[in-house]
Homo-oligomer: A and B are copies of this chain.
Amino acid sequence: MSPSSTPRRRGSERTLELLDVTLSLAEEVGYRGLTVEAIARRAGVGKHTIYRRWPTIADLLLDALSHVWSSELDYRSQGAIRADLREQFLRSSYALSHAPLGPIYRAVIAAAQSDESLRAAIHSRFLKTVEESTLERINLAQQQGQLKSDADLAAVVEVLVGSLYYRWLLTDRAIDEGAVDGLIGMFMDAYGESGV
């Protein structure tokens, strides 16, 4: 055969290839297609090649999430707190609502409902990061006098993040600009220093 057909066996390159196949499956068939069999089939790979790398499909999906999500997490931190939150929430919400991140994340969260340690893994690998970066950003705003100084911001962050995830996971309402503006408006009404 000509060298055009893909050569086999490439160690860690195979790993990236499998992550890409996982992402493209999520693009095309969504949550339902994210099985070990389907991924192996599409990748032209034995199931062992997947199980050798990830003990369960959840671990694969967690890595696939990391692979696609890294650029979404950091705040730009350059403008007013209201504008920065708005941009960050809209960007995150867009990612949640579209392939490939949306279907994969949904699949992991669904699986986590029957696996407490997976729930903890999701929280420590993703949600904790979201909470912490948001906390840093509003802590900065508080230091700059844009927020009341007596607010318990750590608790506030959980409420902000929770509100978005609730809407995403459990309602059929979109996380649109109206929803984000409403949430941030509420936050600023409650904690913004008047006049900011």
Contacts and interface: CB of A to CB of B under 8 A. Distances in A.
Interface string A98-116: 0000000011011111101
A113 B34 CA distance: 13
A61 to B, nearest CB: 12
A113 B119 contact: no
Nearest to A122: B170
B152 A186 contact: yes
A13 interface: no
A161 B156 contact: no
Nearest to A150: B189
A158 interface: yes
A173 to B, nearest CB: 9
A110 B119 contact: no
Contacts of A167: 158, 162
Contacts of A31: 113-114
Interface string A153-193: 00110110111111101111000000000110010011100
A120 interface: yes
Contacts of A111: 110
A107 to B, nearest CB: 7
Nearest to A116: B172
A182 B114 contact: no
Given A32-B114, A106-B114, A110-B111, A159 B183 contact: yes
A165 to B, nearest CB: 5
Q: Looking at A113, A122, A127, A155, which has the most chain B CB atoms within 10 Å of its CB? A: A113
Interface of A: 30-32, 106-107, 109-114, 116, 119-120, 122-123, 127, 151-152, 155-156, 158-159, 161-167, 169-172, 182-183, 186, 189-191
Top 6 closest A-B pairs, CB basis? A162-B166, A190-B190, A110-B113, A110-B110, A162-B163, A106-B113
